[in-house]
A and B are shown apart, each in its own frame.
Chain A
Amino acid sequence: MTAGPERPEIHLLERELQLELEAAQPRIPRLKLRRPIAFILLIVLILVAWEGVKFLGGTPWKAIGAGPGTPVIWNPPFRWAFANDLNLPHVWNIAHAMGQPFQRGADQTLLQYLVGAAFYTWREAALGFVLGSLLGLALATVFVHSRLAERAFVPYVIASQTVPIIALAPLIVFALGQGVLAVVVIATYLTFFPVTIAMLRGLRSFDPRALELLRSYGAGRVGVFTKLRLPASMPYLFTALKIAATASIVGAIIGEDTGAIQAGLGRVITTFNQYYATGPEKLWAAIFVAAILGVTFFLLVRIAEIVALRNRPSIDA
């Protein structure tokens, strides 16, 4: 008589009813293991698909790091252009290249070189991130307290994003001397917009009755701001910061690439792209490191979010 696998909707509806019934009981939040497992599973799947495609249609397989003339280990039945070693290097070859010197005669391995470049890029991005957040917070505060200022300027804040700052990046870079300053400016710009918009909503997101309560205690504007608006805006702020984290990295990479900065990931990617034919693994490694950089920055912000919002009921992102 119980619902079987052929009636999945019953599970959904019963679950809703059950949640209602359990609503009175306090729940201790548990660590969700499902998500990291899903991530790992996804990565495994991608790797399997990657090598699987090369297994079927790539260039003949050889031992890791082997040069021409070495024996062939496996000869795939088909030949697909996109699966050859130039377009899609073996995963283990990429990993192997990380351990080699990044160019002939260098004393750093590729991995060390890339991590150094990533750090450099990250510092620029982070500086812009901080500046942009402060600017966004300041602007949102002004707008929240002055409806007129808001109506006058917010449309331009929004319109400013339709002019992709990315399109202005080259201009900023060349106008500001192709240096670190330009990159920081780009990162700042990319951060301040989401923060401003999110804070504008967040600073207003409280229950109006809470405002009445504070006023009845004689709280002035500052008191209301620090005790009510700011805490209420935290979830919105972090949503924006997560977006800004990635955006500032993207801005930094593009700024470096357009400009003359040698030490950052942007230039590294472009250089490895130029010499792609002689070493495709290096470009892939660089992209991989760039991806890790983005994810790491994102996770840092996420951890800060968990800590800052630890006492609140969880909202599903």
Chain B
Amino acid sequence: MAGSADTAPIVHIAAVDKVFAGREGGRTTALSAIDLDVRPGEFVSLIGPSGCGKSTLLRVIGDLVQPTRGSVSVNGKTAEQARKDRDYGMVFQAPVLFDWRSVEDNVKLPLEILGKDRAWRAQRAKAMLELVELGDFTKHMPYQLSGGMQQRVAIARALSFEPRILLMDEPFGALDEMTRERMNDEVLRIWEQTGTTVVFVTHSIPEAVYLSSRVVVMSARPGRITRIVDIDLSRPRSEESRETPRYFELITGVREALRAGGGDVDDAGTPSAARTMAEGAVG
């Protein structure tokens, strides 16, 4: 349930740059002058071509990468403090499960690190696995599960310690289309049930439009935000939503934004109130 426009943003990014020093002495500008606000309980997607820095931006939020310039505030704290307070959970493109632990023990991993007691760990793990509908597979080993199931375990693990923010980096990129659409519905269901804020990186336009409240369109060289598209499809979303004319209009809008790498105005012809423009976006 998205908050109203005047609730304080849970993620506030201002004028962030990220430059990597290259090996042969060159420099890669992964991010340039990024401004972004995410409201509590929102579902925001980052979309763009390879090299546009969307994964880097996600990791800047998660304090896995330090910005060269600019400020990041998460949940009212610095990104580093938010990470240390475990305010967010991450799901990566690869499930990154430990193949020496059972499904259940994999979900318990962050809880062990947090030092929770055994009973609480067992109860949370069970609850999370039920949430992702893998309650029957608690004792299985990762190699026995399909890719989609492993990702669901990763999601259960990310949610096990009740983070306020969920960061997902192309989690369904390795799955086939049908599994991916099913997983999309899973994520929406979990999102609605837990009320977590989600920042979701993808390069599938339909996925971004189907899932999000807003789609942040990025472009490469240097990585920057070119446009933010409001998705005004009604919720809860379902198969029917994928067949409405508005859905296709929004997809076209996002696609055009991606192509142009520029543009002031969204598809409906009215400038979006919540949109933030990066400087020098044209090009």
Contacts and interface: CB of A to CB of B under 8 A. Distances in A.
Task: Give the 10 A-B CB pairs with smallest separation, nearest first.
Answer: A18-B20, A3-B66, A21-B28, A13-B64, A14-B65, A2-B66, A1-B66, A21-B51, A1-B67, A17-B56
A213 interface: no
B59 interface: yes
Contacts of A2: 66, 68
B68 A14 contact: no
B65 A13 contact: yes
Interface of B: 20, 22-23, 28, 30, 50-51, 55-56, 59, 64-69
A14 B20 contact: yes
B118 to A, nearest CB: 29
24 contacts: A1-B66, A1-B67, A1-B68, A1-B69, A2-B66, A3-B66, A10-B65, A10-B66, A13-B59, A13-B64, A14-B20, A17-B30, A17-B55, A17-B59, A18-B20, A18-B22, A18-B28, A20-B55, A21-B20, A21-B28, A21-B56, A22-B28, A24-B50, A24-B51
Mostly, the B contact residues are: loop
B61 to A, nearest CB: 14
**How many A residues are at the interface, by size bracket?**
10 to 19
What DSSP secondary structure best describes chain A's contact surface? helix
Interface string A4-22: 0000001001100110111
Nearest to A28: B24
Interface in A9-51: 10, 13-14, 17-18, 20-22, 24
Nearest to A30: B24
Contacts of A21: 20, 28, 30, 51, 56
Contacts of A14: 20, 65-66
Given A1-B67, A1-B68, 17 more contacts: A1-B66, A1-B69, A2-B68, A10-B64, A10-B65, A13-B59, A13-B64, A13-B65, A14-B65, A14-B66, A17-B55, A17-B59, A17-B65, A18-B22, A20-B55, A21-B20, A21-B56
Contacts of B55: 17, 20
A2 B56 CA distance: 15
Contacts of A18: 20, 22, 28
Contacts of B67: 1
A9 to B, nearest CB: 9
A14 B22 CA distance: 11
Contacts of A13: 59, 64-65
Nearest to B65: A14
A3 B23 CA distance: 17
Contacts of B51: 21, 24
Nearest to B64: A13
Contacts of A20: 55
Nearest to B71: A1
Contacts of B64: 10, 13
- The interface centre, meaning the residue of B20, B50, B68 with most chain A CB atoms within 10 A of its CB, is B20
A3 B51 CA distance: 22
A17 B28 CA distance: 11
Nearest to B23: A22
A308 to B, nearest CB: 27
A85 to B, nearest CB: 50
B71 to A, nearest CB: 8
Nearest to B72: A1
Contacts of A1: 66-69
A22 B69 contact: no
